[in-house]
Amino acid sequence: MWWRGAVIYQIYPRSFNDANQDGIGDLPGIIAKLDYIASLGVDAIWISPFFKSPMKDFGYDISDYRDIDPLFGNLADFDELVVKAHALDIKIMIDQVLSHTSDQHQWFIDSKENKTNDKADWYVWADAKEDGTAPNNWLSIFGGIGWTWEPRRQQYFLHNFLSSQPDLNFHNPDVCQAVLDNVEFWLKRGVDGFRLDAINFCFHDAQLRDNPAKPKELRQSIGFDEKNPYAYQYHYYNNTQDENLDFIESIRSLLDKYPGTVALGEISSEDSLKTMAQYTQGDSRLHMGYSFDLLTDNFTASYIKQVVQSLEASVSDGWPCWSISNHDVERVVSRWGGYKSDDFAKMLFAMISSLRGSVCSYQGEELGLTEVDIAYEDIKDPYGITFWPQFKGRDGCRTPHPWQQAQINAGFSDAKPWLPMATEHVNKAVDVQDKDINSVLNSYRHFNQWRKKQPALLYGDIQLLDTSEPILAFVRKYQGDELLVCFNLSEQEQQLPIASLGVNCENLVMLTEHKLTTSQAIDKKAINLPAFASFYGKL
């Protein structure tokens, strides 16, 4: 099971590397950087959508699940990518956006024409209320009601996201089978797994019951606050329905026919950790799941400990995958208190990679890239355009990857990039950090190689220790091997009394091969933790 303990490197293809010099990254651009990816010591790459799309939501609105958008290349490019990645022992995971399609998908073009065609029941259609208003109170994540009127059918269709992203009707078994057939198309092309976008959104409540209101004091939830009316409801009925578990099991049955393949589910529900536990339970559902619980602004040892404890209490035999950055949220070194130092960036990756589970690491995390403040005239994200200026959208974490400091656009493209190359990122370019043995990049590489030799970090159980802010500490145990792991989440030096840990440290031996900020045990009475330091010791 290669995926247990794996580090999965997320590539946002529009912003990774532009091979044909049109200002947009592409599949040949990824192929050209496979040696770089291999040098990172990661186990797999997850590539965000590259399928045919009108790009209203930059690829998460798919019009053809079985073809490549010309912006990114063609199927021959993808096949070459798979072959060359596998030759470097890199697994390939791709996004599958199953809950909805683009409104330009042929299925929807047919479905919206009338109520009698072959695809008439393939999307979520409903009649208006007597007064002509929407069928219920469900809202769109991107703002406004979650229903749009279609005059041809004289009905509303559901969209949990943009109005150009109509929701499929998974209560129709023909839809479920067609979706599974699309997934299998890529399995036959040799992919090693899938990241399943918004996988708990596939089924809706067939009775179309209203979502209950959420009290004002509870409207701050992960990813949403009072800037977005989506936070005003408990989303009990527009997603995370019991019927979805059967569909999840159908996905697993399909993947089991292709040994070694894996499914990672993105889960955002009212109780994401509980849903994650359900979706990864046993051997018949998803292999892994990840939630947004560590993609928040909350950066304290107590919060991280609470999230991990809650997950461990509910997941049991399931396997988590941790993420602190992706293409939808502010970059972690900015989000968690502003970029403090290179040691801060190093510590964050070490911390997330030392929890029990696998890791999703977003491109640029290995360089310590910060969030970029995008001018309004350069904003491309429809989410940001709608909610500007209270929320500036997701473009700030999607800017081009810097490769060469002295090259135009830092080597990303000779053409004007689709989003601006951040001036502050140029000095963090790959060629600059390559030359510095103490850079964030080289620390990332060294840590991944060192971690591969630590079975307790890859596969072991976790025991969280009772420490005070700003210290996070735990023990990882695997087949008699025990590691004590400690992190100082602050920029002030900390002394951690060994006696306070509640574990036997009599034979504690500090491990220093990971190239992180040096910590030390002082006469075995205390662990000295400099600013943003990490400590690994064998018990």
Would you please indicate which residues are annotated as catalytic (active-site) residues?
197, 266
Enter the tokens of residue 105.
């998908």
Q: Is the dihedral of CA 141, 145, 149, 154 positive or negative?
A: positive
Angle in degrees, 0-180, between the axes of helices 440-451 and 342-354, rounded to the nearest 10 = 20
Complete DSSP assignment for 51-63: EE---TTTTSS-S
The answer to whether residues 510 and 521 touch, using CB atoms and an 8 Å cutoff, is yes
Bond preceding residue 49 cis, omega within 30 of 0: no
The answer to whether residues 152 and 113 touch, using CB atoms and an 8 Å cutoff, is yes
Enter the tokens of residue 256.
């089991």
Contacts of 117 (CB under 8 A, 6+ apart): 110, 111
Q: How far is Cα 307 from Cα 222, in angstroms, rounded to an integer? A: 13
Q: Which helix (H) or strand (E) holds 106?
A: helix 106-111
Contacts of 524 (CB under 8 A, 6+ apart): 498, 505, 508
Task: Give CA separation, 452 vs 14, 33, 449, in Å.
Answer: 30, 22, 5
Q: How far is Cα 438 from Cα 465, in angstroms, rounded to an integer? A: 30
Instruction: Decide: helix, strand or coil at residue 349.
Output: helix
Q: How far is Cα 224 from Cα 219, in angstroms, rounded to an integer? A: 8
Least Cα distance to 525 among 501, 493, 490 occurs for 501
Cα dihedral 311, 315, 318, 324 in deg (nearest 10): -10
In one-letter notation, the amino acid at residue 247 is F
Least Cα distance to 492 among 524, 470, 518, 517 occurs for 470
Bond preceding residue 215 cis, omega within 30 of 0: no
Enter the tokens of residue 120.
């008439």
The answer to whether residues 535 and 501 touch, using CB atoms and an 8 Å cutoff, is no
The answer to whether residues 142 and 383 touch, using CB atoms and an 8 Å cutoff, is yes
Q: Taking the chain, what is the end-to-end CA distance rounded to the nearest angstrom?
A: 27
Task: Give CA separation, 226 vs 219, 221, 229, 389, 395, in Å.
Answer: 6, 9, 6, 14, 21
Enter the tokens of residue 2.
């290669």
Phi, psi of 255 (to 5 degrees): -65, -30
